[in-house]
Structure 1
Amino acid sequence: MANPLIKRLRRQFQKKKPAKSVKIGSRSRRLNRWFMWLAPGIFIKRWLFISILGVLLTSLGLAIWAQLTPIFFFIELISGFLETIATFVPSYISGPIALLLGLFLIFWGQSRTVGSISEVLNPDQDKELIDVLTTHRKLVKGPKIVAIGGGTGLSTLLRGIKTYSANISAIVTVADDGGSSGRLRREQGMLPPGDIRNCLAALADEEKLLTELFQYRFSAGEGLTGHSFGNLFLSAMNNVTGDLEQAISASSKVLAVRGQVLPATLVDMRLVAEMEDGQIIEGESQITEAGGKIRHLGCYPENPPALPAAVKAIEEADLILIGPGSLYTSIIPNLLVPEIRQALQRSQAPSLYICNIMTQPGETDDYTVSDHIRAIDQVSPHPLFKAVLAQSRSPNPTSLQRYAEELSHPVYVDREAIRSLKRRLVLANVMFEDPKIGHVRHDPYRLGKAIMRWYSRAQ
């Protein structure tokens, strides 16, 4: 049987040992943080060198101006001081001590300087300042990405790609006429803010909190019931700034949005659909509720002018993404603007259409991937994208049963038909399934990863 004293000493030793390793690990991480300040791309080394050079040149200029008198007396003073030290302390002792003291003062001074800067620029201290700077540099150097669409599909896409670039332009449809957006459109005479609101929230730094705030709908109050806070916020901004474009720009600054959100047009655009049974239906919300098959989609006015900033974004883009989202009420409405369509035709940037995972009742019943492509091609005589991204795996049986009850099914990938339309097929598992309710949607992070992987190969 072991001695109780030995057991107690062993327990104490085992308790102290991890604490020591944690302390050493913490010091090692802190040292690595310091070396990161000298990493390429942070632009610290060059400015530090220039600052030191500036100090030396300033000192030299003052010395020359004073006819070198200060330098002479300074050298005499230092020489006498060093001779005095060498008399009492050997050079092999005094030299290392002075060197270590100098290095300590430099390190201490710089650490306090960086600490003071961090307190101002990063008051919450959620991340190290060097991590913030590194991420910022990476995002600023990211490709210029244009994402075209609307609804929840576009906001999902933006959440996925904003971790790869800060140079994002989201071009959003303004054809919505239902719900809170429709009421503001009729009562305030402004363009529908709903899809714009979702995109601003998706691109904001504090995305989760802002999304909850912007999606909050008032359940009581005369005139407030049914309105979302985000729509009212944009409505107020619209009244303050004078138009929607300036309202979005001002909101982007207030919300620290990464990128820009641009309406496809500033014209009061309304969708008009010709159904297979000959019916003519006007209004985005009415088209979906009609439940028939759409033969042709147009708009009124017939050729709305594009927002110049949206056209410029497409012309300067390194990567163009179309979708995901409702085919006839979120994606194609943007393409009905002639200048946007023409800019897409002229662009030489890699372009990718992201197809929906499930068919949408009332819009794309029984549609395959090639049917989605043909619907978009019907809008333009020339192809507007070079490749299509489709879901590679089918949802689980629970999800399939739930969607079948709503007359919705997975979009079938018909490879031969896609090839005949001269589009490259990109297959990837970009799906998120909620196991509790069997809800299927695009996973923003899987989607972003799949897109950037394709883009790196397509360049």
Structure 2
Amino acid sequence: MTPHTPGARPEWSRNPAVVALGGGHGLSASLSALRLMSDRLTAVVTVADDGGSSGRLRDELDVLPPGDLRMALAALCDDSEWGRTWSALLQHRFSSSGDLDHHAMGNLLIVALWELLGDTVEGLDWVGRLLGARGRVLPMSSVPLVVEADVRRGPHEAPLETIVGQSRVALTDGRIEQLRLVPADPPACDEAVQAVLDADWVVLGPGSWYSSVLVHLLVPELAHALHATTARRCVTLNLSADTGETAGLTAIDHLEALHKHAPGLRVDAVLADPSAVEDVAGLADAAASMGARLLMRQVRRGDGTARHDALRLAAAYRDVFDGVLGDV
């Protein structure tokens, strides 16, 4: 990556075409930052959720689980009264003693449009227009998926256990050795593949590393596009790995897991918060082995929680996109 020099800023960097991959709260964090710097933004979202409102709608109506798609759309709403109101409505959950209990309003809206229009992508685009969303939201696959993981509990010689379902994989307390999707060769969303091929930058993470981020690399057409695109690739590391599927994993372990599941994928930049890095030199070496340079920036909120600050993260992405990779 060429360091930034005055007057050398590429034309696209003022409003880059960015594709962000992931799901859940992690993808919401990156989208909340990226929408502050570009309106040429596409979220490519996992469709393997099998829990809560999404799982119930998936089972009852045989549709893509809408929850992660809903969260991405909410994150793309602007800070106007219109945007805040519609974002809150999408995220609103009913509380009752009946069948509506804990269903998210946005999930119902999305699924209703899918039934009305008969087209998943068109339905999501309609929701985006209604919200005034700053970007587009697409599923990573055109069919609902199941996540499977081979997990090892205890020492290296301990037997592997297969965990089935995204909700169970996300909460496992074992070390994930291998990740799979069912079906093993799912069709990608064509529009998502094209967005990756047309992008200036692709952002992977933060988020549930295995069940929301790495699963994108297991959809063959999408994985091929991620390898073939002329876009540069930025990996955003998590702020903590205290519980669930990444409990005890270091920042270096996260990159090694990415390399294991996509050994040929070249990365241009790795973005990390200093508070989440145990070995800066080791992480820089791990990034370099994938072709990337390490960017260390404080992107955590100032309230002590393991949550990203949208403005700080946006500033960090701006440095990444402009090639300003020195420590600040």
TM-score (norm 2): 0.87
- Aligned position for 1:285: 167
- Structure 1 residue aligned with 2:319, among 453, 456, 459? 453
**Could you tell me whether the CA contact under 8 Å between 2:209 and 2:254 is conserved in 1?**
yes
Q: 1:303 to 1:415 in 2, by over 3 A?
A: farther
3-state secondary structure, aligned to 1:370: helix
Return the alpha-carbon distance in structure 2 between the equivalents of residues 181 and 327 of structure 1: 20
Q: Equivalent of 1:424, from 293, 296, 321? A: 293
Provide runs of 4+ in structure 1 moved above 3 Å: 138-141
Cα distance in 2, alignment partners of residues 233 and 310 from structure 1:
22
Q: 1:389 aligns with which of 246, 258, 271?
A: 271
Which residue of 172, 176, 180 maps to 1:298? 180
Which range moves more in the overlay, 165-174 or 233-242? 233-242
Residues 76-118 of structure 1: per-residue CA shift (max 9 Å, x gap):
xxxxxxxxxxxxxxxxxxxxxxxxxxxxxxxxxxxxxxxxxxx
SS in 1 for 2:149: strand
Query: Residue type matched to 1:427 in 2?
Result: M
Distance 1:293 1:207 in 2: 40
Contact kept? 1:369, 1:414, Cα under 8 Å: no
Q: Is the 8 A contact 1:150 1:331 kept in 2?
A: yes
Q: Distance in 2 between matches of 1:139 and 1:202?
A: 23
Structure-2 change in CA distance of 1:139 and 1:196 (3 Å): farther
Q: What letter matches 1:350 in structure 2?
A: R
- Tell me what 2:71 maps to: 198
Question: What residue number does 1:366 align with?
Answer: 248
- The residue number in structure 2 matching 1:161 is 34
1:233 counterpart (109, 127, 144): 109
CA distance in 2, matches of 1:164, 1:179: 33
Matches of 1:139 and 1:197, distance apart in 2: 28
The count of residues paired between Structure 1 and Structure 2 equals 303
Q: For residues 175 and 247 of structure 2, what CA distance do their matches in structure 1 show?
A: 8
Which of residues 224, 231, 242 in structure 2 aligns to 1:342? Answer: 224
Is the Cα–Cα contact under 8 Å of residues 359 and 367 in structure 1 kept in the other structure?
A: yes
Residue 266 of structure 1: aligned partner: 142
Inter-partner Cα distance in structure 1 for 2:19 and 2:127:
20
- Distance in structure 2 (CA, Å) of the matches to 1:414 and 1:454: 18
| Change in CA separation of 1:140 and 1:371 when aligned onto 2, cut-off 3 Å | closer
2:172–2:245: 8 Å Cα contact kept in structure 1?
no
Contact 2:174/2:245 (CA < 8 Å) preserved in 1?
yes
In structure 2, distance between residues paired with 1:227 and 1:346 = 39
**In the alignment, which residue of structure 1 is the partner of 2:23?**
150
2:318 aligns to what SS in structure 1?
helix
Distance 1:310 1:415 in 2: 35
Larger Rg: 1
Partner of 1:129: none
Residue in structure 1 matched with residue 261 of structure 2 by the alignment:
379
Contact 1:359 1:411 in 2 (8 A): no
Name the residue aligned to 1:208: 84
Q: Cα deviation per residue 1:101-146 (whole Å; 9 max; x = unaligned)?
A: xxxxxxxxxxxxxxxxxxxxxxxxxxxxxxxxxxxxx999611111
Contact in 1 for aligned 2:65/2:144 (Cα 8 Å):
no
Q: 1:281 deviation in Å?
A: 1.1
Shift of 1:360: 4.2
Q: Identity of aligned pairs, percent? A: 38
In the TM superposition, what are the counterparts of 1:164-203 in structure 2 within 5 Å? 164-203=37-76
1:242–1:427 Cα change, 3 Å: same
* Offset at residue 414 of structure 1 (A): 4.2
**Relative to 1, partners in 2 of residues 1:216 and 1:139: Cα closer, same or farther, differing over 3 Å?**
farther
Distance 1:191 1:416, change over 3 A: same
Q: Distance in 2 between matches of 1:231 and 1:139?
A: 34
Residue 160 of structure 2 aligns to a residue in which SS?
Answer: coil
For residue 302 of structure 1, report the CA deviation from its aligned partner: 0.4
Residues 269-313 of structure 1 deviation map (CA, whole Å, 9 limit, x = unaligned): 100111114111110111233321111010100011111111111
Q: SS at 2:246's partner residue?
A: coil
Residues 198-247 of structure 1: CA deviation (Å, up to 9, x unaligned): 11111123432222211111111521001011111111111111132221
Aligned-partner SS, 1:191: coil
Write the letter of the residue equivalent to 1:424.
R
Equivalent in the alignment of 2:215: 333
Cα RMSD between the aligned structures? 2.1
Aligned to 2:306: 440
User: Residue 412 of structure 1 aligns with which residue?
Assistant: 278
User: Per-residue CA shift, 1:125-171, capped at 9, x if unaligned?
Assistant: xxxxxxxxxxxxx9996111111111111111111111211100110
What residue ranges of structure 2 are gaps of 5+ in the alignment? 1-10, 153-158
Aligned-partner SS, 1:239: helix
1:6-55 per-position Cα deviation (integer Å, ceiling 9, x unaligned): xxxxxxxxxxxxxxxxxxxxxxxxxxxxxxxxxxxxxxxxxxxxxxxxxx
The match for 1:255 is: 131
Structure 2: which amino acid aligns with 1:261? V
